[in-house]
Structure 1
Amino acid sequence: MQAAVGDMRAQSFYGFAVILQMYLNSNSSTQHQIFNEEESLTFFMPVDRELSKFTLSPEHLEDFLLSHSMTMTLQFSDLIHFPTGTIVPSGLHDRLIKIQNHGKSNFYVNDAQVITPNVCINSMMIKCHGIDSVIKYENDDYPNNRRIDRAPAAAGTVRAPPKT
């Protein structure tokens, strides 16, 4: 995880790196162990200017991180094969990410455009991509006060379409 955090900082995604480090250093992290070195994850990281507009309390760090992740490792070269309209689970069981694929320079996860692909290059199990805004979900009341469980393991079976 530290290699991924280093990559985030190297590409100026300081806000997301701070949120991730705060979570990793919290009691929640040691209790839930949702982010460990064996876990396959892809993060979608909002740019700092957009992240700074978002209010996030410490008790919602985990939900925020999970709502900006998928429980599979995907380089941008994998993501670009998902056709427009593909729906994939986020790290939260009740949050789905809809893909809008109009080419490498016009690729969206929900309403957020991927603007810096392949940020995390030094971790085998964690990949991350910079996005231009915080991901919004339909009927979004985020953050909310209820505990949201992690997406079921079966959600990780979604695979990128084969390369042609």
Structure 2
Amino acid sequence: MATTTVHQITMFLLLLISALASSLAAANVPASRSPDILVAIEEMQKANYFTFVMLINMAPLDLFQANITFLMPNDRTLSRAIIPESDAVNFLLRHTIPSALLFEHLQHFPTGSMIPTSKPDLMLRVTNYGRRQFFLNTSRLISPNICTRGSSVRCHGIDGVLQEATIMANASPPHTATSPPAASAAPPPSADPAPTPPRTGHDSSPLLIPPPAGYGGGSNSSNSGPKWGFSGSHWMCIIHLMMISVYVNLLIIA
């Protein structure tokens, strides 16, 4: 009778430990990319932006999930750029906007508007002279709306690499043939000062759009310390030791 009870207890403990091991193994499965990111990658490949896709695949899986706009230099442009593997994440952050924007949305930004990138404190200055002359800093947008199938990811092709040194608020607009000519002479002063015109929706003063809610940019100071924990292999070793200990104790009791 005692032998049967010990056997039942042994089987119960082994089943409990096996269930615990399965739950720990499931918890250590790496996260996957969001469906919208995977759909956008397919659209990039169809448009021959293979090098940019390679950079996305080099980045951590959780770097981009949704609500993002990619600004993609083409393969020829990237073949002339030197991007160390350690700088891939930094490069992608410079070439993304933390909001899903079609070109029809970008066209509403007047010249001088500032758009934030996913890299904190780095901004893109808009120079808007129409669909064929739309610049972000000194890079022209040449292939709009490449990624449109997903609901939260957009991407556009640009003709240059956005360098970190130029993505600042004081970046000067590029020179184009459609730029308005400078005035040849200043108008004569009037006797009475002109009244200040009211601000309207067509005001061309710089427009600064804030990042979306929840976008923190920098790291949280509460999470700045080192993180300690056991990996899946460590947990499996501990579980095996527990199983051996239980089995030995039951043999001693029997």
Q: Same fold (TM over 0.5)?
A: yes
What secondary structure, in the 3-state scheme, does the structure 2 residue paired with 1:42 have? strand
Q: Which structure is larger by alpha-carbon Rg, 1 or 2?
A: 2
Question: Gaps spanning 5+ residues in structure 1: where?
Answer: 24-28, 141-153, 158-164
What secondary structure, in the 3-state scheme, does the structure 2 residue paired with 1:116 have? strand
Contact 1:110 1:136 in 2 (8 A): no
After the TM superposition, which segments of 4 or more aligned residues of structure 1 sit over 6 Å from their partners?
Answer: none
Higher relative contact order (CA 8 A, sep 6+): 1
Q: TM-score, normalised by structure 1?
A: 0.77
CA distance in 2, matches of 1:3, 1:123: 6
Structure with greater helix percent: 2
Amino acid of the residue matched to residue 212 of structure 2?
Answer: G
- Structure 2 equivalent of residue 110 of structure 1: 137
Q: Does 1:6 pair with 2:35?
A: no
Contact 1:46 1:133 in 2 (8 A): yes
CA distance in 1, matches of 2:110, 2:76: 29
What is the CA RMSD across the aligned residues, in angstroms?
1.5
CA distance in 1, matches of 2:95, 2:166: 16
Q: Does 1:94 pair with 2:130?
A: no
1:156 to 198, 205, 212: 212
1:48-59 maps to which residues of 2 (within 5 A)? 48-59=75-86
Contact 1:112 1:135 in 2 (8 A): yes
Q: TM-score, normalised by structure 2?
A: 0.51
What secondary structure, in the 3-state scheme, does the structure 2 residue paired with 1:99 have? strand
Structure with greater strand percent: 1
Contact 2:94 2:164 in 1 (8 A): no
CA distance in 1, matches of 2:125, 2:212: 16
Contact 1:111 1:136 in 2 (8 A): no
The percent identity for this pair of structures is 30
Per the TM alignment, residue 137 of structure 1 is displaced from its structure 2 partner at its CA by 4.0
- Structure 2 equivalent of residue 35 of structure 1: 64
CA distance in 2, matches of 1:7, 1:22: 18
Amino acid of the residue matched to residue 34 of structure 1?
Answer: L
Question: Gaps spanning 5+ residues in structure 2: where?
Answer: 1-36, 168-209, 214-254
The alignment of Structure 1 onto Structure 2 pairs a total of residues equal to 135
What secondary structure, in the 3-state scheme, does the structure 1 residue paired with 2:42 have? helix
Change (3 A) 1:74 1:20: same
Per the TM alignment, residue 138 of structure 1 is displaced from its structure 2 partner at its CA by 3.5
CA distance in 1, matches of 2:89, 2:166: 20
